[in-house]
Structure 1
Amino acid sequence: MTNRLEQVINALDHLHGEDPQHVDLDGEPIAAELLYAQRMSTLLATLNQAPGECLQIAVRAQHLQRWQVPRDAYPEGRVGYLTWRRDQGIRAGDTVAQLMNEAGYSAEDTQRVATLINKKGLGRDPDVQALEDCACLVFLENYFADFSRKVEHDHMLRIIQKTWRKMSPQAHELALTLPMSDDSAALVKEALS
């Protein structure tokens, strides 16, 4: 890891660590957003043995300070959700750009990271696809079971199907090997049949 990459990752982790919501990890509390960011980076290392610095930063920053603007600050429904997500991406891109500038990255690199965080070019840009694959796989492995208990069955099936369509063939293969509860595995199987 280069010095400038390490500087940005450490700065991001400091911001992630400010998340007031904590979860228990092996008996120790950790900021929920920091744990998510760490899981994203770990998964990226599984999917891509030599990711570029911009991709590593974007993956680590994907949910940067989302807790500052909660989802319920926007209207219910798909349009409200998409607007919230877009605004979160813009805000995260601006914050990351500042951190990258301080570390000596070029304006081109900061723009690239913003593009990745906002997932512009999904399906056409391999780095955007890698970020999306990480997000989908981290969700399926770590958050899917709890989320699925809160969502109506048929709606959950549609969410799984939409998530699956966004993933690459490599991510599909990996997703089918993830440890899941029997209920979660049955939901995925039903959605994909």
Structure 2
Amino acid sequence: MKPTRFESAIILIDKKNSEDINTYQVYGLEVSKELVYSQRMSQKLLQFEPDATEELQIASRAQHICRWKIARDEYPMDKVGYLKWRETLKKMHADITSNILKEVGYETEFIERVSFLINKKLIKKDDESQTIEDVICLVFLDYYFEEFATKHEDEKLIDILQKTWKKMSEKGHAAALKINYSDKSLSLIKQAIA
């Protein structure tokens, strides 16, 4: 049986992400970091929003598609450089995903909506943009925060947690507080949101 457009899109997004040269060791296997990240985004989205639309599911899966292709150090290592890098990445993620969606036969309107979501436009005003932002924050907190925390001072971590919290909805906050943290991380989160 031929895969659906949706299945084909996910397969092609995963194929691109599996080309990531940065890897993790998972049970003795080398796994591309962006492939793991995209699968975590999908899993977390469906836990958080079980009725997510196809557009939202694809945008979540493609959130970091081919991210390794534009290195952070290609831009000045200041706030302006960081923001420019992030904008360039979003455009690239949206462009690559749009090409995949065209290839598998999605309509222009659908493709434009996915691009809109990948670019995280109108967060706080558009429910699906807010959902994708919540899911990004939840994936960070659940899978990446513990390791990240070992590399930074508490003061910086509290600042990052406060910025993360600001981006999230009430529903996102509730989900974030259900994650199983180490005592140290939970203490930092409590300080950040106090």
Measured against the shorter chain, the TM-score band is: over 0.9
Normalising by structure 2, we get a TM-score of 0.95
Separation in 2, partners of 1:188, 1:159: 10
Separation in 1, partners of 2:45, 2:11: 17
Once the 2 structures are TM-superposed, how far is the Cα of residue 162 of structure 1 from its aligned partner? 0.9
Q: Provide the identity percentage.
A: 41
AA at the equivalent of 2:132? L
Once the 2 structures are TM-superposed, how far is the Cα of residue 93 of structure 1 from its aligned partner? 0.5
- SS of 2:112's partner is helix
Once the 2 structures are TM-superposed, how far is the Cα of residue 135 of structure 1 from its aligned partner? 0.4
Separation in 2, partners of 1:184, 1:138: 15
- SS of 1:150's partner is coil
AA at the equivalent of 1:79? V
Structure 1 match to 2:66 = 65
- Give per-residue Cα distances to partners, 1:123-164, cap 9 Å, x unaligned: 011110111111000000111112122233222211111100
Structure 1 match to 2:150 = 149
Structure 2 match to 1:17 = 18
Normalising by structure 1, we get a TM-score of 0.95
Once the 2 structures are TM-superposed, how far is the Cα of residue 47 of structure 1 from its aligned partner? 1.2
| 1:95 pairs with 2:118 | no
CA RMSD of aligned residues (A): 1.2
AA at the equivalent of 1:135? I
Structure 2 match to 1:45 = 46
Question: Which residues of 2 match residues 75-114 of structure 1 at below 5 A?
Answer: 75-114=76-115
- Give per-residue Cα distances to partners, 1:149-183, cap 9 Å, x unaligned: 22332222111111001111111111111111122
Q: How many residue pairs end up in the alignment?
A: 192
Question: Which residues of 2 match residues 140-179 of structure 1 at below 5 A?
Answer: 140-179=141-180
